Amino acid sequence: MEIIITDTPDEVARVAADIIAGVVRSRPDAVLGVATGSSPGATYQRLAELSAPSAPGRVDFSAVTVFALDEYVGLPAGHPESYAAVVSREIVRPLGIDPANAHVPDGAAADADAAAAAYDAAIAGAGGIELQLLGIGRNGHVGFNEPSSSLSSRTRVKTLAPQTRADNARFFDSPDQVPVHCITQGLGTIGDARRLLLVAQGAEKADAIAHAVEGPLSSRWPASILQLHRHATVVVDEAAASGLALADYYRSVQEFKPRVA
């Protein structure tokens, strides 16, 4: 696992966006996994700047395909806080992605279990995900894989933890409006991506980052699955890195990282 510690949250977004832009430059029709929530928001803003028509060395996202990590179950069609709406508003339109190439689990399906299985199959049918962007919850969840999730789980219906619902209540008019269930890519599905990129900012994520990076592999901290991945990168600011025992080593690795000419 590569750990990149930056001075500021803005630097987290810049580093992560540059990694994603590099993937798209090398493969314009790349399949990307996209996360929602507060952690990756600034990364998408930076990518929008890189994809602007006037940007030097503009990155073209028009042929990119994206798959969202998750969706709430049971929100009314068109609800502004559905992840279908968020992905359209914060990712697809700003980056110039063809809406036909944007995929979100069907949280309104009559059979949510069947919709989850179909979504897993759709990812495989697209050739798999080249790079999956991830945030992390304070309880260590990635996607909506709450603590105790199977490390080999596939896309499925999950019950949200009270802490997750409380954290997401700020997006709704009242806490009672936050759905109880979701469809989420499983930890096994996420691990199938050829590269994982996790971003985190702020001291409130420090405990989760420490457990994910340096703790034992455990369903108690679902993000610890990154330890198993062949190509996982974690980009954090100083506050989010404050619980890492080996932070000085990670800084040294970055300082002396071999540069390819």
Least confident range from 36-50, 94-108, 129-143, 246-260: namely 246-260
Query: Catalytic pick from 139, 168, 211, 237?
Result: 139
Query: Catalytic pick from 71, 106, 130, 146?
Result: 146
Is 211 one of the annotated active-site residues of the chain?
Answer: no
C-alpha dist (Å) from residue 43 to 39, 56, 152, 201, 216: 8, 18, 28, 12, 29
Contact 217, 190 (CB under 8 A): no
Span 186-228, pLDDT tens digits: 999 999 999 999 999 999 999 999 999 999 999 999 999 999 9
Is 141 one of the annotated active-site residues of the chain?
Answer: yes
Query: Catalytic pick from 79, 141, 211, 237?
Result: 141
CA distance 243 to 254: 18
Query: Catalytic pick from 70, 90, 120, 192?
Result: 70
pLDDT for residue 146: 95
CA distance 153 to 210: 23
Q: How confident is the model at residue 260 (pLDDT cuts 50, 70, 90)?
A: low
C-alpha dist (Å) from residue 33 to 126, 130, 198, 224: 12, 8, 11, 18
Is 145 one of the annotated active-site residues of the chain?
Answer: no
Contact 141, 104 (CB under 8 A): no
Domains delineated in the chain: 2-254 (3.40.50.1360)
CA distance 211 to 216: 7
Q: Encoding tokens for residue 101?
A: 């190439």
pLDDT for residue 197: 98
- Strands of 181-184's sheet in order across: 70-72, 181-184, 156-159
CA distance 165 to 250: 33
Q: Encoding tokens for residue 109?
A: 């399906």
pLDDT for residue 38: 87
Q: What is the mean pLDDT of residues 112-140?
A: 97
Q: What is the mean pLDDT of residues 171-179?
A: 89
CA distance 224 to 108: 31
Q: What is the mean pLDDT of residues 32-60?
A: 95
pTM to 2 decimal places: 0.95
- In this predicted structure, the answer to whether residue 29 has a pLDDT above a threshold of 90 is yes
